[in-house]
Amino acid sequence: MNKKNLIIEFSEYNSLTDGVEKSLVLLTKAAEKNLKNSYSPYSQFKVSSAIKLANGNIILGTNQENAAYPSGICAERVAIFSAKSTFPEQDVIEIAIVTEQSNPTPFSPCGACRQVLMEYEMLQKKPIKVILKSGNSKIWVFNSIKDLLPFGFDAVDILKK
């Protein structure tokens, strides 16, 4: 048996005024403003995301629940699917994911959202910066979705013969 270690690197900030890049601050504020559009009558857990594309456009998404669980969809997938449907040739530069609910550390995306974001990062062959904030939590910034899903897979893995 061999034991291995995995080190994940990210930046942690106490607040948005703690030296966070200006573009990330603006993106996070757009996501926070968009929280009001979350449709979460069952969980009461509001999530919003904002994606910045290479052309400068900002695409928003919120979680959308449904009484016929699990027919709802997460904010991250709403935003990324909208971005790639509306601007298919534009790379995703960064995504801010925020929740209304506070926590000492930010809530992170579910596994399905991590895998979907990983797919687009691999497709565009450029990292997607990820910003996480939950209410009055600290802010975490990851340089790539791979930092949140270090053992993710893509079509190359699936299609090997």
**Within-domain flag for 71:** yes
**Within-domain flag for 7:** no
**Within-domain flag for 67:** yes
- pLDDT of amino acid 64: 98
pLDDT tens track for 35-94: 999 999 999 999 999 999 999 999 999 999 999 988 999 999 999 999 999 999 999 999
What are the C-alpha distances in Å from 86 to residues 81, 89, 105, 135?
8, 9, 33, 29
- pLDDT of amino acid 97: 98
**Within-domain flag for 53:** yes
**Within-domain flag for 12:** no
pLDDT tens track for 109-148: 999 999 999 999 999 999 999 999 999 999 999 999 999 9
Strand 92-99 relative to strand 47-53, pairing = antiparallel
Structure tokens at 88: 């298919």
Catalytically active residues are 76
Residue by residue, DSSP assigns the chain as ----------EEESSTTSS--HHHHHHHHHHHHHGGG-B-TTT---EEEEEEETTS-EEEEE-B--SSTT--B-HHHHHHHHHHHH-TTSPEEEEEEEESS--SS-----HHHHHHHHHHHHHHTS--EEEEEETT--EEEES-GGGT-TT---HHHHT--
Mean pLDDT of 1-16: 94
Cβ–Cβ < 8 Å for 43, 65? yes
Q: Which residue has the higher pLDDT, 86 or 150?
A: 86
Q: Is pLDDT above 70 for 161?
A: no
Q: List the domain range (segments joined by +) for residue 125.
A: 25-158
**Within-domain flag for 14:** no
Q: Is pLDDT above 80 for 156?
A: no
- Total tally of structural domains belonging to the chain: 1
Q: Is pLDDT above 90 for 154?
A: no
Residue 160 pLDDT class (50, 70, 90 cuts): low
**Within-domain flag for 1:** no
- pLDDT of amino acid 9: 94
Q: Which residues 6+ apart lie within 8 Å of 109 measured at CB?
A: 74, 76, 97, 117, 130, 148
70 preceded by cis ω (within 30°)? yes
- pLDDT of amino acid 63: 98
CATH code for the domain of 91: 3.40.140.10
Please report, in angstroms and rounded to a whole number, the separation of the first and last CA atoms in the chain.
29
Residue 52 bridge partners (DSSP): 58, 94
**Within-domain flag for 92:** yes
Q: Model-level pTM?
A: 0.94
- pLDDT of amino acid 153: 76
- pLDDT of amino acid 158: 74
